[in-house]
Amino acid sequence: MTPLLEVQDLRISFPTAGTRVSAVDGVSFTLERGEMLAVVGESGCGKSLTSLALLRLIPHPGRIEPGAVIRLDGQDVMALDEAGLRRIRGRRIGMIFQDPMTSLNPVFTVAAQIGESIRAHRKLRRAETRARALDLLREVGLPDPEARLDQYPHQLSGGMRQRVMIAIALASEPEILVADEPTTALDVTVQAQILEVLDRLRVARGMAVLLITHDLGIVAGRADRVAVMYAGRLVEEAPTPELFVHPSHPYTRGLLASVPRLSGPVTRLTPIAGTVPLPAAWPSGCRFHPRCPEVLPRCPTDDPPALGVGPGHQARCWLVEGSRP
């Protein structure tokens, strides 16, 4: 069976001083129906660009390099014209972002903005549209939904705005919801509410979720699979429990060791040395080698391919080769 979404060899480049620099450099993954895949990485790793590329929304002057394959249910997204893209954007693939305030229009009511999304999908009468908007607000668990319909974004809290954004994204019944750091701007108790809404919708609607985040914590116990990105590349991919129990890329291990925990003894944190490199200065060979505590002689020159660690588990690291029987 074809996967719902298939991405192969995605490269996104930006012009700088006479050449083009690849901010995303050869990323491949799939997303199945009803699945939650988390893409995890630090700022500048290319995770948000990857999600924008699915809808061909790369900001000018960036571009997706030829050779990339993006297929939605077998359909070639790279071959679509503007009209074809409009039939996908927001309809088959919905998106929510970190800061709902910048995506909501401050001069329209909640009802008007959800209504716009509903009517783009189905031709409904005014009263039907309003009823549908109310249903959606209930579905995302917005408290007191009748009263909220006629309010403006500034009258809502951050958590409520994110619920409204999710309702807008759901109006067209998308098969995939791309959630780019959906809870980063929210307090932890509100973050827990929003993540629960996403979980519930996924089960109730069979909707696939691509969760983009920097926080390994919100991934654990929620996503089915995790893909870790570093410096424009996907460095490790595994089923979620496997990734946390057997992290196989030193970068993944480093990330896990850097996070303060709520349980167990408090010990000194083990940070990853150095800083995340910029796209114009990505190192040769394995891009993590200058910061890697387990670097091998070949790492500065030989770029490791994705090597199999176990079922559904791959890592771009030469150590994997050495550890296999």
Round to whole Å and give the CA distance between 104 and 168.
10
User: Measured from the CB atom, is 210 or 272 closer to other proteins?
Assistant: 272
- How far apart are the two ends of the chain, measured CA to CA in Å? 32
Round to whole Å and give the CA distance between 224 and 30.
12
Does 19 interact with other proteins (rule: CB under 8 A)? Answer: no
> Looking at 58-66, 100-108, 202-210, 264-272, which segment touches other proteins (CB under 8 A)?
264-272
Does 42 interact with other proteins (rule: CB under 8 A)? Answer: yes
Least separation in angstroms between residue 269's CB and other proteins is 4
Least separation in angstroms between residue 313's CB and other proteins is 15
Applying CB under 8 A, what is the total number of residues that bind other proteins? 45
Does 217 interact with other proteins (rule: CB under 8 A)? Answer: yes
Round to whole Å and give the CA distance between 52 and 293.
33
Which tokens in the block code for residue 103?
């995506």
User: Measured from the CB atom, is 48 or 191 closer to other proteins?
Assistant: 191
Does 39 interact with other proteins (rule: CB under 8 A)? Answer: no
Does 244 interact with other proteins (rule: CB under 8 A)? Answer: yes
Round to whole Å and give the CA distance between 136 and 100.
17
User: Measured from the CB atom, is 175 or 242 closer to other proteins?
Assistant: 242
Per CB under 8 A, the list member of 15, 61, 67, 221 interacting with other proteins is 221
Per CB under 8 A, the list member of 124, 276, 295, 306 interacting with other proteins is 276
Per CB under 8 A, the list member of 1, 19, 43, 146 interacting with other proteins is 43
Binding mask 87-106 for other proteins (x = CB under 8 A): --------------------
Round to whole Å and give the CA distance between 51 and 7.
11
User: Measured from the CB atom, is 190 or 307 closer to other proteins?
Assistant: 190
Return the beta strands (E) in the chain as ranges: 5-16, 19-31, 36-40, 63-64, 69-72, 75-76, 93-96, 176-180, 208-213, 225-230, 233-239, 307-310, 313-315
User: Measured from the CB atom, is 67 or 293 closer to other proteins?
Assistant: 293
Does 84 interact with other proteins (rule: CB under 8 A)? Answer: no
- The closest alpha carbon to 14, from 51, 53, 45, 58, belongs to 58
Which tokens in the block code for residue 138?
């209930």
Does 219 interact with other proteins (rule: CB under 8 A)? Answer: yes
Round to whole Å and give the CA distance between 273 and 264.
24
Residue 11 and residue 28 in contact, taking contact as beta carbons nearer than 8 Å: no
Least separation in angstroms between residue 204's CB and other proteins is 17
Does 123 interact with other proteins (rule: CB under 8 A)? Answer: no
Does 155 interact with other proteins (rule: CB under 8 A)? Answer: no
CB 42: neighbour CB atoms within 10 A? 16
Sign of the alpha-carbon torsion through 219, 220, 223, 227: positive
Does 266 interact with other proteins (rule: CB under 8 A)? Answer: yes
Cis ω for the linkage preceding 61 (within 30 of 0): yes
Contact residues: other proteins, CB under 8 A: 42-43, 143, 157, 159-160, 187-193, 195-196, 214-221, 240-241, 244-245, 254-263, 266, 268-272, 275-276
